[in-house]
Amino acid sequence: MMEAPTEAVTRPSGVRLRLLVLLAVAAVASMVVLRMPPLVQDPGYHQFADTRPWLGIPNFQNVASNLPILLVGVLGLVRLWQRTSGPGGAREVTEKAAWLFLFLGFTLASFGSAYYHLAPTNTTLVWDRLPMTFGFMGLFAAVLGERISERAYRLLLWPLVSLGIASVLFWYAGEVQGRGDLRLYVLVQFLPLLLIPLIMMLYPPRYSHGRYVFLALGWYVVAKVLENYDRQIFAALSIVGGHALKHCAAALGGWTLVRMFSLRARLQP
């Protein structure tokens, strides 16, 4: 007779414990990043290995390799429209705005990155990084809503997107004054990379095919490695640099998310 009250007490405590774990990890990671010395943008970042022009377009491969990213973004937006335009769309995609930010982020980032690579400077880099934060925060908010609660999604979507935008503007405002600081932008990129797998391990899914998120995050890691070894890859291959391959890896990560979004179905409770 006494077992039911015990179960009722245990369940909320388990929920609180999971939230405490997430908050603790987020707090520690934030403290580690923000206690670092200011991260100034390396001027050498703009000096890519492959600067060959073609058809009158400077840095052609780094510009043109954004086309797969554009394709992924447009396909994602079309698929989002298809899945939400019907009578049951509101129930099928409860985190519509988060997915919109994700796929819109890919679409706009393709234009922003192409614009940046035509003439790489800190000023043009702003238009590359701003839409990328839409994607980071959109995916993060979608996972929050689908794994933790729709209330968490509604409460955090706009603050997360605003934080992403602020991280880029804060960095650039500092650069203009000669004291740029990338720490907040780094946090916006890597905190979701840390928390999303943890959330997916701690909370049960409401939709199928969630494993695709891990594959997408894996492609993101590959993209960062390719970016870091831009010159070494170009020296080894001679035909393409690591940065252009980074764009292709990012597009594959985006395609993985579009594929997941297309295949997934709501699981029975």
151-187 pLDDT per residue, tens:
999 999 999 999 999 999 999 999 999 889 999 999 9
CA distance 137 to 108: 14
Q: Which of 101, 107, 158 is nearest to 133 (CA)?
A: 101
CA distance 92 to 207: 10
Residue ranges of the chain whose pLDDT lies below 50? 1-10
Place of tokens 């939709």: 207
H-only helix segments in 177-241: 183-202, 212-228, 230-237
Greatest Cα pair distance in the chain: 81
Cβ(189)–Cβ(136) below 8 Å: yes
3-state secondary structure of 125: helix
| Residue 21: CA count within 13 A, CB half-sphere | 16
3-state secondary structure of 215: helix
CATH of 40-263, one of 3.40.605.10, 1.20.1090.10, 1.25.40.10, 1.20.1070.10: 1.20.1070.10
Cβ(114)–Cβ(165) below 8 Å: no
Domain ranges of the chain: 1-35, 40-263
CA distance 116 to 250: 17
* Local structure of residue 50 (DSSP, 8 states): -
- The residues facing 266 across adjacent strands are 207
What's the pTM value of the predicted model, to 2 decimals? 0.90
